[in-house]
Amino acid sequence: MFQEKCAGCHTIGGGDRVGPDMEGVTALRDRDWLVRFIVEPDRVIAEGDPIAAALLEQFGMPMPNLGLTEAQADAIVVYLEAQAGDAPAPPPEPPVSVTAPTGDPDIGRDLFSGASRLANGGAACIACHDIAGVGALGGGALGPDLTQTHAKFGADGTAAMLANLSFPTMIPIFGTRPLTPEEQAHLAALFQQTAEVGPPAQPVGQLALAAAAGAALLFGVMHLLWRRRLTAVRRPLVKG
Ligand code: HEC
Ligand code: HEC
């Protein structure tokens, strides 16, 4: 369950990822607090719990409510406790599989922009995310710019996140419509490419040009119409 639901954002002894490293967390926190936090982090945060508030500030995003029961959360805490025991350390966990098929950034770009459909019917990423080099006017602003995702989370972090898009806003869409392994690989390849290219150029210059051209065109049209109307009034007057 940890590998499936948590490893996208947490490691055990592998350092902070999207959320904090879970190594030693069972010694650091009260057991009941941990179970409750895993079951309903949104509630704990909303209640103004000081630990949760500090973590939220440190990591800049809230841990999503993953819909676990108390029994499931308890089982995960038992697992975390076992990892922390001073029994001979278990072999380090393999990072979430990165052995997925190698992706093609161009196919990834089509999936991102919606030019190709996602096999399981998820929404195109561009609806909510911007990324360098996709779409003349950029993507949606609801989610963060993904240009630097690969630079920020590394290949493993990116692969893990794509395998399990468990972000609060995305769960309703992708919870039941996961990306296929091929789609994950293509998008990962795209992220790797954009991280090397840099942040998207703001389309402000293009927009300003388009606005100026539009204004000039309107001015021309008005000028023509207006002139005709003036002569239509003036000629009969002069004749008269
Ligand atoms: C989408 C990313 C994400 C997923 C998935 C996720 N977490 Fe978190 N988690 C976070 C973030 C971010 C924080 C720190 C901010 C906060 O507390 O809200 C956090 C904090 C925590 C903490 C508190 C750590 C401390 O130092 O007290 C625990 C415990 C935790 N997560 C356990 C889990 C478990 C168990 C799962 C799987 C059932 C899980 N998380 C899934 C992002 C995630
Ligand atoms: C309905 C809007 C929506 C769609 C569609 C969407 N996302 Fe997201 N995504 C978000 C939001 C909002 C966040 C920020 C976390 C949150 O609030 O849930 C996010 C966060 C992320 C993150 C974490 C980025 C970070 O820096 O923390 C990744 C990676 C991501 N999305 C990838 C994707 C991919 C890949 C697709 C397309 C397959 C996609 N998203 C489609 C809304 C969306």
- pLDDT for 87 equals 47
Mutate to test the pocket of ligand 1, among 2, 3, 4, 10 (most ligand atoms within 8 A of CB): 10
The answer to whether domain 105-197 has CATH 1.10.760 is yes
Please say whether the beta carbons of 185 and 101 come within 8 A: yes
Q: Which atom of ligand 2 is nearest to the CA of 179?
A: 38
- pLDDT for 62 equals 83
The residue nearest atom 34 of ligand 1, judged by CA position, is 6
Residues framing ligand 1 (Cβ under 6 A) = 5-6, 8-10, 18-20, 25, 29, 34, 37-38, 41, 45, 52, 55-56, 59, 61-64, 66, 68, 76, 166-167
22 φψ region: left (φ > 0), alpha (ψ -120 to 50), beta (else): alpha
Q: Break the chain into its structural domains and give their ranges.
A: 2-84, 105-197, 204-240
Pick the CATH number of 2-84 from 3.40.1030.10, 1.10.760.10, 1.25.10.10, 3.40.50.300: 1.10.760.10
Residue 152 to residue 161: CA distance in whole angstroms? 12
Residue 33: which pLDDT band, with cuts at 50, 70 and 90?
Answer: very high
Mutate to test the pocket of ligand 1, among 4, 55, 59, 63 (most ligand atoms within 8 A of CB): 63
- Spell 175-209 as b/e; 16+ CB within 10 A means b: eeebbebbbbbbbbbbbbbbbeeeebeeeeeeeee
**Of 88-92, 136-140, 232-236, which gets the smallest average pLDDT?**
88-92
Residue 46 to residue 237: CA distance in whole angstroms? 76
Residue 95: which pLDDT band, with cuts at 50, 70 and 90?
Answer: low
Residue 88: which pLDDT band, with cuts at 50, 70 and 90?
Answer: very low
> Taking 80 as the threshold, does the pLDDT of residue 197 lie above it?
no
For range 110-121, the mean pLDDT: 92
105-197 matches 2-84 in CATH topology: yes
